Structure 1
Amino acid sequence: MKVLMIAPACDGEDVGEAWVAAQWATLIAERHELTLLTTYKRGHTPMSRQLPGARVIEWQEPAGVGRFERFNSLLQPGYLPFFIRARRWIRRHRAEERFDVAHQPVPVAMRYPSPATGSGIPLIIGPVGGSLDSPPAFAEEEGATPWWQRLRRLDSWRIEHDRLLRATYESAALVLGVAEYVPEFVSGLRVRRFEIMSETAVHDIPAPVDRAGRSGPVRLLYVGRIVRTKGLRDVIRALAELRDVEVRLDVVGDGNDRAACERLAAEVGVADRVAFHGKLPRAAVDDYYREADVFVFPSYREPGGNVALEAMSFGLPVIVCRRGGPGANVTDACAVRLEATSPAQLAADCATALRRLVGDPELRLRMGSAGREHVASTHLWSQRAARMTAYYREVAAAGA
């Protein structure tokens, strides 16, 4: 099939959405005739050199766009010039060549219209997510959230009033969403077809880790950016309720809430049981997965949560929140899913879940084994690509 992929950020040497888009591009290029519309960062290897087997149409990212990483990843100021260039390219070439399907896998957030809208090419959007609001009770502790992150609140208004954005979703042949909340978010639109698919996956299952017979403190692990919404404060508060339990928490990652979490650990008297390791290379992160006994990641505003899939692939039971991607990507056999209504409730429920898992080594092993099996059967990139190929064929057969 001839596939037109639209990915404003696509870079297998980067992280986040750019890395995710590169996985899609690489896998689809192995199966179909791919034309990729994208940009590349200054100083990075262009995708045309990373993916020589595909036709890559790329533009250099505008100067200054990537200076502030988190600001750029949220607001994507480079999207408008990319949109204009990509739309012009599609209009200029649609008369001389035919594409069976167009697919725009990124941005994941549901606030960006597609340049393929109205092109006559059957369009697949997603998997999309984001745009989750925080539960109101968490708002006070998010007071230090940068102003650009608070602009997420405009997403609901835009999906209702932005004509081009509405047209993108209403004209798409298929919208893929990361979890059940996505169709609720676009419920005011006439979406033609909706399916659920996580926006990320793992490439393979690591060798099994033998955790039977371990002694000493039960090793808890958190991996991810340290921002309020990802729930590390709630884990630390949970530890304060487990003073009679022998545990240790390793925190891998960094972010603007780290200092607050370090202060909180000292205030509640668990600083001696929490180790902050900062951002680490991939190989070092994998070592922490192997050394851990329980993975705890109660992020309450998470569209994907690939770290939970990684943890399960290493045979770890996981503790996640029910809302968003992590809760959608697991089963009760391999995960404890928590509600998130208030910081006090989340910390208390996290403590209950931890006490149960810490006190039952056999349960940890059973859940860890179930997690490995679940990832192997459901969350491999090869399975994502096969499923996407099936969608391509269905959409192309149905027409624009």
Structure 2
Amino acid sequence: MKVLVSAYACRPNMGSDPGIGWNTINELAKKHQVWVLTRKDNYPFIEAEIKPKSIPGLEFIYFDLPGAEYWKKGVGLIYLHYYLWQIQAYFVGRKLHNNIGFNIVHHVSYVTYNYPSFLSFLPVPFIWGPVGGGESAPRTFWQDFHLRGKIYEVIRNLIRWTREKDPFVSFTAKKSFLAWGMTQDTAEKLKKLGAANVKVFSPVGLSQQEIDCLAQSSLTKTAPVIFLSIGRLLHWKGFYLGLKAFAQANLTDAEYWIIGDGPDLKYLQALTEKLGITQQVKFWGKLPREKIFQLLGESHVLVHPSLHESGGFVCMEAMAAGRPVICLDLGGPALQVVEETGFKISAHTPEQTVRDLATAMTCLAQNNELRLRMGSVARKLARENFSWEVKSQVLAQTYAEILTSPESLTSSSAIQL
């Protein structure tokens, strides 16, 4: 099939949106002819990767708004640029469609549900996503957020509510032959926006090279037991919950490592001193991916108490390394972790969550056999379910269904902008 892909964020060897964009189009190009619309500043990264590999069936169309390198600075302007870039993408895509005749149009990135894709106006079956962003921190946890965190959550909710009122967002939902939500929370948002065919599917995956690299980490019984958290130090990442739980567990022969940087660093360091666990906690700061993989291999358990997250790459990486995961029963991480590979903690109140996190930490610290058994199952699950090769099978099946479905061939006519 001839596929037109919108991938605003698309760069090889990266995580988050750029990694999702890159890996998705690479899997699509194995079976189809793929044309990719992406930003001009992605050019050096993409071309450096594809020239030595000479990937067939894959063509990139780079473009951007005039002077974009000067004015798209700051989070607000980035999203304004993203919105305007997608309008431009429609005209570029329409011209290509007139010349090529695409079978499917697929919006891949950004993976956010509350911004429209104007390519949905083309008279071609349109796939939206997977997209995320519909998750929210439970309101009972707001009481523990510092002022900056509370302001962030209020503004985030206000922006989402405002963006949902954009008629082009609801049009994108209604025009979607398939709308994929990364989590059940986002899937519910898509349904409310008017999407008729909504499914939950996570685009978060690992390359076979990453899986093989992480699989080299040995499953060890050595003391002390090291708990590890990885991510930006933000209030909604919930690292303060992990620290409180570690202190409550009172594990004298254990350590807690935190990898990452962010605005909450000083707050978390002060909390560590207040809890009296300074000697057992180490803040590593921001590290390169290779070093993170190394420390993951030296640790025993991943603790990921994020309060709202669509993806959760780090949980997937930990499982591929054979590490049990303790996470909250929220968002993307909750879709990855099962009973045999870790603990999913219900998040009703901060006090209950800290108590249950502490219980899970104690259980894994004191039971070597359970830790090793969970790690072994986690590694097997990651190998069988988290690779991009496996994700591509879902994409292939979906595309085949669209091509053979009579409904997909009666798409309404395009609305000209």
Shorter-normalised TM range = over 0.9
- Whichever residue aligns with residue 260 of structure 1, its letter is Y
- How many residue pairs match? The answer is 395
Q: State the partner residue of 1:63.
A: 69
Point out where structure 2 has 5 or more consecutive residues left out of the alignment. 412-417
Shift of 1:393: 1.7
**Superposed CA offset, 1:298-355 (max 9, x none):** 1010111010000000000000111100001121110200122332222111101101
Q: State the partner residue of 2:183.
A: 179
**Superposed CA offset, 1:231-275 (max 9, x none):** 110011112112244210111111111111111001110111110
Counterparts of 2:360 and 2:372, CA distance in 1: 15
Question: Is the 2:114–2:164 Cα contact (8 Å) retained in structure 1?
Answer: no
Alignment of 1:223-262 (within 5 A): 223-262=230-269
Q: Secondary structure at the match of 2:8?
A: strand
Q: Secondary structure at the match of 1:262?
A: helix
Counterparts of 1:389 and 1:334, CA distance in 2: 28
Q: State the partner residue of 1:285.
A: 292
Q: State the partner residue of 1:307.
A: 314
| 2:142 aligned residue (139, 142, 147) | 139
- Indicate yes or no: 2:219 matched with 1:211: yes
Shift of 1:368: 0.7
Counterparts of 1:349 and 1:66, CA distance in 2: 43
Counterparts of 1:243 and 1:303, CA distance in 2: 32
Counterparts of 1:242 and 1:371, CA distance in 2: 24
Structure with the larger helix share:
2
Alignment of 1:100-119 (within 5 A): 100-119=103-122
**Structure 1 residues 357 and 389, CA, compared in 2 at 3 Å: closer, same or farther?**
same
- Indicate yes or no: 2:166 matched with 1:162: yes
**Structure 1 residues 252 and 368, CA, compared in 2 at 3 Å: closer, same or farther?**
same
Counterparts of 2:244 and 2:361, CA distance in 1: 12
Shift of 1:365: 0.6
- Indicate yes or no: 2:404 matched with 1:392: no
Question: Is the 1:156–1:185 Cα contact (8 Å) retained in structure 2?
Answer: no
Q: State the partner residue of 2:352.
A: 345
Question: Is the 1:40–1:46 Cα contact (8 Å) retained in structure 2?
Answer: no
Counterparts of 1:228 and 1:242, CA distance in 2: 22
Counterparts of 1:31 and 1:78, CA distance in 2: 32
**Structure 1 residues 65 and 19, CA, compared in 2 at 3 Å: closer, same or farther?**
farther
Give the alignment's TM-score, normalised by structure 2.
0.89
Q: Secondary structure at the match of 2:374?
A: helix
Counterparts of 1:103 and 1:121, CA distance in 2: 10
Q: State the partner residue of 1:198.
A: 202
Shift of 1:46: 5.1
Shift of 1:14: 4.9
Question: Is the 1:178–1:199 Cα contact (8 Å) retained in structure 2?
Answer: yes
Point out where structure 1 has 5 or more consecutive residues left out of the alignment. none
Shift of 1:79: 0.8
**Superposed CA offset, 1:206-238 (max 9, x none):** 334333442x21011111111111111001111
Counterparts of 2:296 and 2:251, CA distance in 1: 25
Q: State the partner residue of 1:6.
A: 6
Question: Is the 1:20–1:200 Cα contact (8 Å) retained in structure 2?
Answer: yes
Question: Is the 2:239–2:305 Cα contact (8 Å) retained in structure 1?
Answer: yes
Counterparts of 1:357 and 1:110, CA distance in 2: 37
Shift of 1:20: 1.8
Counterparts of 2:152 and 2:282, CA distance in 1: 30
Q: Percent identity?
A: 27
| 1:264 aligned residue (256, 267, 271) | 271
Counterparts of 2:251 and 2:302, CA distance in 1: 20
CA-atom RMSD in angstroms = 2.2
Shift of 1:24: 1.2
Q: Secondary structure at the match of 1:35?
A: strand
Shift of 1:25: 1.9
Counterparts of 2:45 and 2:81, CA distance in 1: 16
**Structure 1 residues 246 and 46, CA, compared in 2 at 3 Å: closer, same or farther?**
closer
**Structure 1 residues 343 and 103, CA, compared in 2 at 3 Å: closer, same or farther?**
same
Question: Is the 2:233–2:239 Cα contact (8 Å) retained in structure 1?
Answer: yes
Counterparts of 1:132 and 1:249, CA distance in 2: 27
Question: Is the 2:113–2:186 Cα contact (8 Å) retained in structure 1?
Answer: no
Q: State the partner residue of 2:366.
A: 359
